[in-house]
Structure 1
Amino acid sequence: MIIRRLAWYWLLPVAVLAWELVTQSAQATYFPPPSRIVVRLHEMWFSGPLSRVFLTDEALADLVPSLARLLAGWAMAAAAGVAIGLLLGRSRWLSALADPLIHFGRSVPPSTLLPVFLLLFKIGTPMQLASIVYGVVWPVLINSADGARFVDKQYVETGTVFRLSRVQRVFRIILPAAAPKIFAGLRLSVSLALIMMVVSELIGSSEGIGHRMLEAQSEFDIPAMWAGIVLLGILGILLNALFIGVERALLGWHRASRTGAR
């Protein structure tokens, strides 16, 4: 097992080295070598003073607003998805009523609604937040509903025996039992939030990583465009690792119970 993991860790440097050699020999205009991309990435965003953690003016103008919108949109979608999902999961008639609307809503690509959001919210942060929330809410809502729907009946009956109120049953029984499903939806939604952040910044935005990539494309600054792509990949890895750490900390009891059951 350890040997396999080490093999996977070595795969990325080998792939980067191969990319460097191939692109250096090919001299392709649209595929610069990784060395040029890293240099451009450093120049654009991470060559600032130590007092600002090496962040440049461009980084403060692009990275901070993008991350703020990403986190705010994801948090709003997570809160709405969990609340609505728990409600639908515990009510059969409400679930039957809302299912067609949910399947229709999640089948509509979020990017196709950008013109609608532009009409409703105009250009700016509200439009971008609406785009992120709409693209992110569906996996959270559906997983939360499934988790709440299939809670063990013995848990609910135990809560009834102890005369727990409806609110107490939600927070002490239903929410913990549905937590593994909820976190599965939340983890999927992190990558979707990153995608929708970039898509919303490509249209009608004057700041952000997506806007900077579009600007680089229009100026034929190919290394800067690739630097934005690499930065988004790094952000995705970091956000996923951070979420996994939080999930393990909060759901340690679930893993322990599964191990004990075995």
Structure 2
Amino acid sequence: MKSVRRRLAVLGIEIWLPVLLVVAWWVASRDSESFYFPPLKDIWARFVGNWIFSGIPEFLLPSLANLGIGFALAVVAGIVAGLLLGLVPALYRRCWLLLELFRATPMIVLVPLAIMFFGVGSTEKIILIAVASVWPILLGTTDGLREVDPLVSEISRCYRVPLAIRLTRVMLPAALPQILAGTRVSVSIAVSMMVGSELFASTEGIGYFVLRTRETSAVTDLWTAIILLGLLGYLINLLYGAVEHVLLGWHRGLRAVEANAK
């Protein structure tokens, strides 16, 4: 019962300001006649019409499918490449400059190149999402493995623990906090690239909807897309937080034991 009350209290702390802002927006825009800032009640009516019914299969689901596949590819590729770089220091030293170069490059500039090679279908968008979001995961995995206590690794080798067990039972769990920190950054990058890739020569997705509202000067519809993206980002963050809470349960317990020991 206490945990339920605590969660409700946390939820109340999180939502009171957004609720207050929405109420203030509703009241302040009630009599608005501005073309660019329509009343919130009109935006809400269009939101229901656009997204609660036909907009979900036509625009939202294609975007979420591309996001899910692209992000899954980024997680797998980032962890595998990060393992390789983290376990082979010489390879990391040789690739460090190249990795930093790619990480610092705005991936949106690759959109024309991706369209040239892969066309304007889902493949192009999935590849762009994967390439844009892989770097924080890769670097988080690499740094996490490099910071594993050398004594732990040495003891594992002395006891001739097989490499597969060392990776799954010792090294990956130790690096997991940094892997998940990189993954959290990658989530926001993936969502941004999901929309950005759909703004160019696309025929489906939320980005295409935004592009269409610009061409038709449907400002109210544009506001509905902005609100949808905000809600989508918040829900994805909640889902990721729940996954992170489960995966790092042992880590919080270990930190609590260490704090009590001090």
TM-score normalised by structure 2 residue count:
0.91
- Counterpart of 1:261 (choices 234, 255, 258) is 258
- Residues 211/250 of structure 1: CA separation in 2 closer, same or farther (3 Å cut): same
How do 1:184-203 residues align onto structure 2 when only pairs under 5 Å count? Answer: 184-203=181-200
Shift of 1:240: 0.5
Task: Give me the CA root mean square deviation.
Answer: 1.8
Amino acid at match of 1:11: L
Report the counterpart of residue 231 of structure 2 in structure 1.
234
Q: Helix, strand or coil for the counterpart of 1:24?
A: coil
Q: Helix, strand or coil for the counterpart of 1:29?
A: coil
How do 1:217-228 residues align onto structure 2 when only pairs under 5 Å count? Answer: 217-228=214-225
Report the counterpart of residue 175 of structure 1 in structure 2.
172
Report the counterpart of residue 51 of structure 1 in structure 2.
none
- Counterpart of 2:28 (choices 3, 22, 25) is 22
- Counterpart of 1:133 (choices 109, 130, 135) is 130
Instruction: Check whether the contact 2:129–2:193 (CA below 8 A) recurs between aligned residues.
Output: yes
Instruction: Check whether the contact 1:148–1:174 (CA below 8 A) recurs between aligned residues.
Output: yes
Matched residues, percent identical?
Answer: 37
1:146-179 Cα offsets, whole Å, 9 max, x none, are 0010101222123113312222211111111100
Q: Helix, strand or coil for the counterpart of 1:27?
A: coil
Q: Which moved more, 1:162-171 or 1:97-106?
A: 162-171
Instruction: Check whether the contact 1:82–1:141 (CA below 8 A) recurs between aligned residues.
Output: yes
1:18-68 Cα offsets, whole Å, 9 max, x none, are 22233334422112232222211110121xxxxxxxxx2331121111101
In 2, Cα distance between equivalents of 1:165 and 1:3: 47
Aligned pairs, number: 253
1:117-151 Cα offsets, whole Å, 9 max, x none, are 11111111111111101110111111111001010
Instruction: Check whether the contact 2:31–2:39 (CA below 8 A) recurs between aligned residues.
Output: no
In 2, Cα distance between equivalents of 1:77 and 1:188: 12
Q: Say yes or no: does 1:9 pair with 2:6.
A: no
In 2, Cα distance between equivalents of 1:189 and 1:7: 26
In 2, Cα distance between equivalents of 1:7 and 1:239: 19
Instruction: Check whether the contact 2:30–2:41 (CA below 8 A) recurs between aligned residues.
Output: no
Instruction: Check whether the contact 1:63–1:209 (CA below 8 A) recurs between aligned residues.
Output: yes
Report the counterpart of residue 116 of structure 1 in structure 2.
113
In 2, Cα distance between equivalents of 1:239 and 1:7: 19
Q: Which moved more, 1:174-183 or 1:126-135?
A: 126-135
- Residues 149/60 of structure 1: CA separation in 2 closer, same or farther (3 Å cut): same
Amino acid at match of 2:83: L
TM-score normalised by structure 1 residue count:
0.91
Unaligned runs of 5+ in 2: 1-5
Unaligned runs of 5+ in 1: 47-55
How do 1:68-147 residues align onto structure 2 when only pairs under 5 Å count? Answer: 68-147=65-144
In 2, Cα distance between equivalents of 1:57 and 1:3: 36
1:60-113 Cα offsets, whole Å, 9 max, x none, are 121111101001000000111111112111211100111111011011101111
Amino acid at match of 2:201: G
Instruction: Check whether the contact 1:124–1:204 (CA below 8 A) recurs between aligned residues.
Output: no
